[in-house]
Structure 1
Amino acid sequence: MSLTRLPVLFLADLVVLPGMVVPIELDEAAQAAVDAATAGSASQLLVAPRLEDRYASYGVVATIDRVGKLAGGSPAAVLRAEKRARIGAGVTGPGAALWVEVEPVEETATDHARELAEDYKRLVIAVLQRREAWQVIDSVHRLTDPSAIADAAGYAPYLTDEQKRELLETPDIERRLETVIAWTRDHLAEAEIADQIGADVREGMEKSQREFLLRQQLAAIRKELGEGEAQQPGGADDYRGRVETADVPDHVRAALLREVDKLERSSDQSPETAWIRTWLDTVLDLPWAVRTTDSTDVAEARAVLDADHHGLEEVKERIVDYLAVRSRRAERGLEVVGGRGSGAVILLAGPPGVGKTSLGESVARALGREFVRVALGGVRDEAEIRGHRRTYVGALPGRIVRAVKEAGSMNPVVLLDEIDKVGADGHRGDPAAALLEVLDPAQNHTFRDHYLELDLDLSDVLFIATANVVEQIPSALLDRMELVALDGYTEDDKVAIARDFLLPRQLERAALAPDEVTITDAALHELAADHTREAGVRQLERLLAKALRKAATRLAVTDAETVAIDVPVLRELVGRPRFTPEAHERTAVPGVATGLAVTGLGGDVLFIEASAHEVTGAGSGGSGGLTLTGQLGEVMKESAQIALSFVRAHADDLGVDRSFFEKAIHVHVPAGAVPKDGPSAGVTMVTALTSLATGRPVRSEVGMTGEVTLNGRVLPIGGVKQKLLAAQRAGLTEVFLPQRNEPDLDDVPAEVLEAVTVHLVADVLDVVAGALAQPAVGEDQTVAAA
C-alpha cells in the first residue's frame, strides 16, 4: 500500500482506536496539527499515543469533524478515528506541525475471526446488561465487522491505557479478539465475585456491624487528623495478653480464650461486649493460684485464741485439733491443696454477744489465713449465693465468689454470719438449699457459680457459720456442719472478760489512761449481776463505756486526776440496777411456778401463773374449762392441756380436791407481747396447777424445765447449759431437769453446778413433791377448802 504524509498528534492521556469519536482539548502542538490537517482537502491527521520509553509504531488515521470551543472556552476539536496505520519516518511539511509517513493497515476477516467476534459481542452485551446500558447494547448488536467489534474495546472502562495500546499495536484481528475476550471474561468473573461478596455483606450486615464499620471509618479519620492515636486500654488484644500471662488452671484459661475470641468478633457498641469484659475482669481478678501458708504451730495457735477470748474451751479445742491433724498431714506429705473434703465447716451457735463473730477473726489469725465475713441475715434470693446468669442486666457473682475475691486467696476463713436468718422466697429460690453445695466437703471442690460457669474449688476454705437459734436452720443444711455451742458466760466469766478485754478497749476509745480510771471487781460483779441479764457481754460493754464517758466528764470539769469506780458510785454513773431477783416475790402465792426457757437471746426465767374462780351459773358437776393467755404457741397450748389432764387424772396422788376442776381455770405466761413457744414447759404447768389446787406455793429457790406426757413421764429438752446459766443469774439454787439430760451436765461450768443443785427426775410427781412447799402442821385439813 502506498505511503501517505500526515500531520501527527500525540496524546498522553488517551488511547484512540478505530471507530471511536473523541473530543480533545487543543494545546499549542495539537492546534498546529489540526491547523495543518484542515489546510488539506481531506482534513485528516494521525493520532497516536505518547509513550515514555519509545515512539509509538501504530496510530489511527482520524478525520476532523468539528473545531470549536469547550464549555469553559478552551479550543477543542472532535476527531473521528477511521483506520489503523503504521507510522513511518518523519518528513517535512507546512506549518508548525510534525509530519510522518503513514502506511494504512489492510485487515482481512476470516471465518474464525467472525466466530470470535460473535463470542466477544455476547461478552460485551453481558457486561452492558449488568450496567443496564440498553442503548449501547443496540449499537453493539448492529456491529458486524470483526475488526470494528474488536476495536470497540476502546470504550471499555475496565481496560487500562496499557491494554488499549496493546490492542492498537495488534493488527491481526483474530489475535486482537482473543485478547479482548480473555480480558472481558476476567472482568466478568471479578464482577460476579464482587457482586456475590456485596450481596453476602448486605445480607449479613446488621445494625451493630454497620456501626462497627462506621466507627472503623471514624477511627481512620481521627488517625488521619492525628486525634486519639493512643491505644485504648481494655481492647481484645489487651485481654488476650492478660489471659496468656495469667496463672489460672487450664480449664479456666480455655474458657477465657473463648470469651476473648467473642470479644474480638463483637462491636464495641454491642451489649454483649460489656458483659464479656465484666466477666473477663471478674474471672481474672480471682486468686486462682494464691494460697496462704497455714501456721502449723499448735501451741502458738492456742495462745492466740486464749489471748483473744476468755473461756470457750470447746471451740478452741476443735480449732487446735484441726490444726494438729493438718500439721501432721503436711509433715507426712499427705497435704493436697484443693483435695476433696480437705475443708471444714463449723457452726458456732449461741445467743448474741458471746463472741461468735470475733472468734472467727481469731481463728483466721491463729491459722495465718485471710478473713472475710459474709452477712447472710435477711438473704432471700438464691442468686445471692450462686450468682446471677450473666445475661441478666446487673448480673453479679454470688457472695461466696465475691468473698474469695475479697480475701485474695483460695483458702481463706469465711465467716457465714447469721446463717439461721436466711429466708426463702417462692419466686427467687431457696438460699439455704444453695448453701448445701457450698458447705458440703464432698461437693464444694467443684462449686459452680451461675455467673462464672466455671468449677471453683472451695474445699480448702475454712467455713465458720454463726447462728442464734439452731432450730431455725434447715435440717439438711445443719447436717453439713459441725455444731459447737457457745451457750453464754457465768458471772465470773463476765467479770474476767470485762477486766481483760472490754475495759482496755473502752479505755482506748474514751482516750483514758489505765491510771486515770480504775474500776473494782465488786463494781464489775454489780454490773454483771444487777445491771444486765444476758448470756453475752454486749450490754455489759455498753455500761462500761457509759461509766467511762461519765468518768472522762468528771476529769474534764473537776480538778480530780483520777476516778475510782466502785459499787457506791455506780448509780451515779450508770443509773440504778434494773434486774433484781424476783423469784421469791413471784412465787409467794400458790399457782406460780418458775420455769426455764431458751430464746434467741439465750437462757431466761419464765414464770407461769395459774388461777381459778367459780363459774357463775354453773350447775353441779359442770366444768369451767381452761383459758390460756400470754401469746402462746401451739406447742405450749398443748402442754397446758396435757398438764390439766394429768392433774385431773392424778388428783388423788397429788392431793387435789376434784371440785377444783369445776372452776374456770386460767393459765397465763406474763410478757404477753412476746411470743412464746417450745416443748419444755410441761412440768412447770403441772407444778403451777398443782400448787393452785393444793394451796401450797412453789419454793422460791426452785426452777424447772422439761416436757411431760399424759402418764407423767418427763421428756428431755435442749439448752440445758443456757437454762442453768439463766437459773444462776436469777438467783435460783435448785433446778429440776429430765433424767435423760444427765449427759448434758458435762458441758455446764463447774461453778454453775456448785451454785445450783440439779435434781434429775423421770416422773413429774417427783417434781411436784420436791418443788411445792411443805404444808404447815394442821393445814392438811384446810387444803381442799382453800
Structure 2
Amino acid sequence: MPEPISVPVLFVKEPIVLPGMVVPIELDDAARTAVDAAQASNNGRLLIAPRLDDRYPTYGVLASIVQVGRLAGSGNAAAVVRGERRAHIGTGTTGPGAALWVEVTEVQEPEPTDETRALAAEYKKLLLAMLQRREAWQIIDFVNQLTDPAQLADTAGYASYLSDVQKRQLLETPNVDDRLRALIQWTGDHLAEVEVNDKIAEEVREGMEKTQKEFLLRQQLAAIRKELGEGEPDGSDDYRARIEAADLPEKVREAALREVAKLERTSEQSPEGGWIRTWLDTVLELPWNVKTEDSTDLKAAREILDNDHHGLEDVKDRIVEYLAVRARRTQRGMTVVGGRGSGAVMVLVGPPGVGKTSLGESVARALGRKFVRVALGGVRDEAEIRGHRRTYVGALPGRIVRAIGEAGSMNPVVLLDEIDKLGSDFRGDPAAALLEVLDPAQNHTFRDHYLDLDLDLSDVVFLATANVVENIPSALLDRMELVEIDGYTADDKLAIARDFLLPRQREKAALTEDEVTVTEAALRKIAADYTREPGVRQFERLLAKVMRKVATKIAEAESGGEAPITPVVVDEGDLVEYLGRPRFLPESAERTAVPGVATGLAVTGMGGDVLYIEATATDGEPGLQLTGQLGDVMKESAQIALSYVRAHAKELGVDPATLDRKIHVHVPAGAVPKDGPSAGVTMVTALVSMATGRKVRADVGMTGEVTLNGRVLPIGGVKQKLLAAQRAGLSTVFIPQRNEPDLDDVPAEVLETLDVKLMTDVADIVKQALEPVAAQETPAAA
C-alpha cells in the first residue's frame, strides 16, 4: 500500500475533476495559494477535491500543474491542471505557505479481471453508440484507442449528460467495476432518452404542416404523452369518466355532465373549451362528500385548548359545548333537520396580541378538523367572497370555496381574520357578501357565482377575528356569536410569559433552561414598565430581545476562550442592561399636579387606555375651544359638560365669573383621532377643577357619559378600561351604576387592586375626585 504524502488541497465547486482530465480552473485567492504551494513543493502536485456543503470529501484527484496564465475571454487568472491519480483524503497536516495541506494516499488500480474487461466492453459499446449519434468522430477515435478499463471509466468526467452528483459518485468509487456498472446504467438511460426524443421529433416532423405552428405544438405534446403512456386528460371522454367515478351529489353530477356535453360540442380552438375545463377541474377538486370525524373526547379537547392558550375561558367553554352537543346528537342518531347543520359562527373581538388568530388552530386541533385561514384585511371586492361570474375572463371561485378545497373536507375550521377591516368600493361590499356565508339559517345553500352550485357550509365552524366591534357591520354581527377578549391582567401576562413566551423565545435563540432563566420579578417589571398593551405581542418581542442579547454574550465568551458564564440569570435589576430604561412609568401624579387635568378611561383599537383631559381659561371673548382631533360625539360631550357646570356652578362651588372667559379643553396626543361619549364625566371634573383651583386626585380615573342634568349613563368596554386603569397604577375608578353587571366579566385580581365606585350623579364624582379644599395652597382662579 502506498505511503501517505502531504500535498496542498484545492477545493472547487466545479468542474468535478477525474483522473486523466485536463481542465482550466479559475484562480481566486485560496486557489492561487494552493497552486503556489504546489509549485514550490518537491513533487509539484496538489489535490483537487470537490467542495461539498454537507460534509468533508473523502476522495480527490492528485493533479499536476500544466500551465498558469489567464483565461482568453475574461482575462481572469487561471491554471490548467492534469488529473493523475485518485487519492483518499486523510487527516490535515501542516506545510509551507498559507495553503491548506492534507495527507493523502494514492488509490492503486488493480490488474483488470475478465469481469472488468467485459464491463469495459459493454460501456464502450454504449459510449460509442451515443458518440456516433452526435457524430463526434475525433472522440470516437480516442475512445477506440483506450484499453485500460480505469482510464475508460474516468473519461466520463467530460460527459455533459452526467450531473455533478454522478461525477462526484464516480470520484468517490475506488472500485473500477462499480464505476463501470454505474456508467452502464446512466449511459443506457440517457441513450434511451435520446432515442425517445429523436423518435418523438421524427413523428412530429412526419405529421407537421409548415403553415400550422399551433398544430406542430399539439403534435409534439401528443407524441410525448404517447411515449409516457398517458391518455389525453383534456378530452371530454376523460372528464365524463372522471365525473362518473367521482363521489358527487346528484345535482352537482347533473350540472357537471351538462358542461361535459357542452365541451364535446366545442371546437378545440375555441377559448370556451378552456373555461369549461377549468370549471370542471374546480368542481372535481372540491370535497363534496368528504367530512372529518369530530373528536368526542371533551377532556382531551379541553386540555388542548388549555395547553395552547392561557385564559380565554368563554371561547374554550363554547367549543367544548359544541363538542358535547355534537357527541350527544351522534350517539342518539339525530339527523340534520331541514338541511341545516350545527356549525358554529363566532367572532372574537379584542385588541392585538391576545391570541385571537392562533386560537383558530387550537380549536381545529381540539375538534379534530382541518384548519384554513382566510385573510380579509383590505379586501374590497365582493367577488373575493362570492367568486367571479364565469362570463368574465380569468374568473375564479371566491375565497370561501377555495378554502373548502384547500381544507379537503366540508367541515373544516375556517378563520376569517380581520373581519373588521373589510372595505367597500365600486366593486361591491364584501361584508354584505359574507351575510349568507355566516348565517346559520342560509349557509346550507351558499351559492358561489363561479360554481353556480349550492355549497353546504352549515357544518363549517367559522371563527372571525376583529379589533373593534363597532367597525363590524351590524347585520353581519347579528349573525355571529360575539366573544370579547379584552386583554390580560398582570398575573395573566406573567403566567403566559412563563409558560408560553419564554420557552418559545428561548428555543428560537438556541438556548436551554440551564443556560438562561428570567425571574418572575423581571417578567412582572417588563409587563408593568416596558409595555402598556392589553395583549402580549410586545412582551414577546422584548423577551426575544433579552434572549438574543444573552445568546450573544454567551457566544462572545465562548469565541474569546473565556470560561462559560452560564447559567445567565436575568433579574429585575438586569433589565436596563438588556432592554434599556423603562418606557412606561406612572404619570398620573405628574399630569394631575395642576388644577384642570382629569384622568379618563377610553377604549381604542389597541385596547383600553388612560386619557388625560385638560381645561384652562384665558382672557378673551367667552366661548369654548376644543383641540386634540376630537370627533363630533366628543365635541358634544364637551359642550354638555360646560353647560352642566355653568348651570350647577353654585352646587359645585364654582364662581360663575370664572366661566365667563374663553374656555379651552384639550385632549393630548393630538395626532390620534378620538371620539365617543364616555369622556363626559371626565370633562366635567376637569372643568370644575380648573374653575375651583382644586387638583384632581392622582389615583383616580373615571369613565361615563353625562347628560345636561348630570346623570351618568352607561358606556362600553368596562373590562378593557379597568385593565388599563390597573396598568396605569390607578387605585380608584368611577364607572356608571348601570355598568355594574359588566363587573362580572372583570378578573377578580383586577377588582382586588381597584376601588370601583358605581355612580349615578356626576356631582358625586366631582366631590370625591377633587382634593379637599383644605389641601389647596392657591385660591380659585378669578
Shared fold per TM-score greater than 0.5: yes
Q: Give the whole-Å Cα distance in 1 for the aligned partners of 2:248 and 2:373.
A: 25
Determine whether 1:260 maps to 2:265: no
Match of 1:569 among 563, 571, 574: 574
Q: Give the whole-Å Cα distance in 1 for the aligned partners of 2:712 and 2:623.
A: 25
Q: Which amino acid aligns with 2:613?
A: I
Q: Give the whole-Å Cα distance in 2 for the aligned partners of 1:584 and 1:778.
A: 16
For residue 687 of structure 1, what is the aligned residue in structure 2? 685
Q: Of the two, which has the highest radius of gyration?
A: 1
For residue 736 of structure 1, what is the aligned residue in structure 2? 734
CA pair 660-460 structure 1, distance change in 2 beyond 3 A: same
What is the correspondence of 1:43-192 to structure 2 with a 5 Å cutoff? none
Quote how far apart the aligned CAs of 1:233 are. Answer: 2.4
For residue 49 of structure 1, what is the aligned residue in structure 2? none
What is the correspondence of 1:350-499 to structure 2 with a 5 Å cutoff? 350-425=350-425, 427-499=426-498
The answer on whether the counterparts of 1:341 and 1:442 sit within 8 Å (CA) in structure 2 is no
CA pair 498-778 structure 1, distance change in 2 beyond 3 A: closer
Q: Give the whole-Å Cα distance in 1 for the aligned partners of 2:689 and 2:768.
A: 12
CA pair 608-237 structure 1, distance change in 2 beyond 3 A: same
Quote how far apart the aligned CAs of 1:227 are. Answer: 8.9
Match of 2:709 among 704, 708, 711: 711
For residue 313 of structure 2, what is the aligned residue in structure 1? 313
What is the correspondence of 1:632-781 to structure 2 with a 5 Å cutoff? 632-776=630-774
The answer on whether the counterparts of 2:692 and 2:781 sit within 8 Å (CA) in structure 1 is no
CA pair 307-220 structure 1, distance change in 2 beyond 3 A: closer
For residue 599 of structure 1, what is the aligned residue in structure 2? 604
The Cα offsets for residues 724-754 of structure 1, whole Å up to 9 and x where unpaired, read as 0000000000000000000000000000000
The answer on whether the counterparts of 1:594 and 1:703 sit within 8 Å (CA) in structure 2 is yes
The answer on whether the counterparts of 1:338 and 1:460 sit within 8 Å (CA) in structure 2 is no
Q: Give the whole-Å Cα distance in 2 for the aligned partners of 1:440 and 1:659.
A: 59
Q: Give the whole-Å Cα distance in 2 for the aligned partners of 1:682 and 1:341.
A: 47
Q: Give the whole-Å Cα distance in 2 for the aligned partners of 1:217 and 1:587.
A: 82
Determine whether 1:278 maps to 2:278: yes
Q: Give the whole-Å Cα distance in 2 for the aligned partners of 1:517 and 1:777.
A: 51
The Cα offsets for residues 666-709 of structure 1, whole Å up to 9 and x where unpaired, read as 00000001111111000000000000001111000000000101
Determine whether 1:340 maps to 2:345: no
Q: Give the whole-Å Cα distance in 2 for the aligned partners of 1:447 and 1:497.
A: 40
Quote how far apart the aligned CAs of 1:785 are. Answer: 5.0
CA pair 678-731 structure 1, distance change in 2 beyond 3 A: same
The Cα offsets for residues 369-412 of structure 1, whole Å up to 9 and x where unpaired, read as 00000001111110000000112111110000000001110000
CA pair 337-694 structure 1, distance change in 2 beyond 3 A: same
CA pair 635-777 structure 1, distance change in 2 beyond 3 A: closer
Q: Give the whole-Å Cα distance in 2 for the aligned partners of 1:299 and 1:710.
A: 54
SS in 2 for 1:518: strand
For residue 500 of structure 1, what is the aligned residue in structure 2? 499
The answer on whether the counterparts of 1:612 and 1:666 sit within 8 Å (CA) in structure 2 is yes
Q: Give the whole-Å Cα distance in 2 for the aligned partners of 1:377 and 1:346.
A: 18
CA pair 736-270 structure 1, distance change in 2 beyond 3 A: same
Structure 2's unaligned 5+ residue stretches are: 1-210, 558-562
Quote how far apart the aligned CAs of 1:336 are. Answer: 3.3
The answer on whether the counterparts of 2:658 and 2:781 sit within 8 Å (CA) in structure 1 is no
Structure 1's unaligned 5+ residue stretches are: 1-213, 616-622
CA pair 228-759 structure 1, distance change in 2 beyond 3 A: closer
The answer on whether the counterparts of 1:349 and 1:468 sit within 8 Å (CA) in structure 2 is yes
Over the matched positions of the two proteins, sequence identity in percent amounts to: 74
The Cα offsets for residues 97-150 of structure 1, whole Å up to 9 and x where unpaired, read as xxxxxxxxxxxxxxxxxxxxxxxxxxxxxxxxxxxxxxxxxxxxxxxxxxxxxx
Q: Give the whole-Å Cα distance in 1 for the aligned partners of 2:317 and 2:703.
A: 30
Q: Give the whole-Å Cα distance in 2 for the aligned partners of 1:469 and 1:588.
A: 33
| Moved segments of 4+, more than 6 Å | 214-223, 225-228
CA pair 219-674 structure 1, distance change in 2 beyond 3 A: closer
The answer on whether the counterparts of 1:593 and 1:607 sit within 8 Å (CA) in structure 2 is yes
Quote how far apart the aligned CAs of 1:530 are. Answer: 0.2
The answer on whether the counterparts of 1:339 and 1:460 sit within 8 Å (CA) in structure 2 is no
What is the correspondence of 1:604-615 to structure 2 with a 5 Å cutoff? 604-615=609-620
Determine whether 1:329 maps to 2:329: yes
SS in 1 for 2:462: strand
How does the TM-score come out when normalised to structure 2? 0.70
Determine whether 1:532 maps to 2:531: yes
Q: Give the whole-Å Cα distance in 2 for the aligned partners of 1:606 and 1:226.
A: 75
The answer on whether the counterparts of 1:630 and 1:673 sit within 8 Å (CA) in structure 2 is yes
Q: Give the whole-Å Cα distance in 1 for the aligned partners of 2:493 and 2:238.
A: 58
CA pair 513-650 structure 1, distance change in 2 beyond 3 A: same
CA pair 409-777 structure 1, distance change in 2 beyond 3 A: closer
The answer on whether the counterparts of 1:326 and 1:335 sit within 8 Å (CA) in structure 2 is no
Q: Give the whole-Å Cα distance in 1 for the aligned partners of 2:343 and 2:212.
A: 52
The answer on whether the counterparts of 1:338 and 1:459 sit within 8 Å (CA) in structure 2 is no
Q: CA RMSD in A?
A: 2.2
Quote how far apart the aligned CAs of 1:424 are. Answer: 1.2
SS in 1 for 2:774: coil
For residue 76 of structure 1, what is the aligned residue in structure 2? none
Q: Give the whole-Å Cα distance in 2 for the aligned partners of 1:646 and 1:265.
A: 81
Quote how far apart the aligned CAs of 1:625 are. Answer: 0.6
For residue 545 of structure 1, what is the aligned residue in structure 2? 544
Q: Give the whole-Å Cα distance in 2 for the aligned partners of 1:248 and 1:337.
A: 21
Q: Which amino acid aligns with 1:759?
A: K
The Cα offsets for residues 505-537 of structure 1, whole Å up to 9 and x where unpaired, read as 111111111111111000000110000000000
Q: Give the whole-Å Cα distance in 2 for the aligned partners of 1:371 and 1:437.
A: 21
For residue 15 of structure 1, what is the aligned residue in structure 2? none
Q: Give the whole-Å Cα distance in 1 for the aligned partners of 2:776 and 2:489.
A: 43
CA pair 785-221 structure 1, distance change in 2 beyond 3 A: closer
Q: Give the whole-Å Cα distance in 1 for the aligned partners of 2:443 and 2:366.
A: 24
How does the TM-score come out when normalised to structure 1? 0.70
Quote how far apart the aligned CAs of 1:339 are. Answer: 3.8
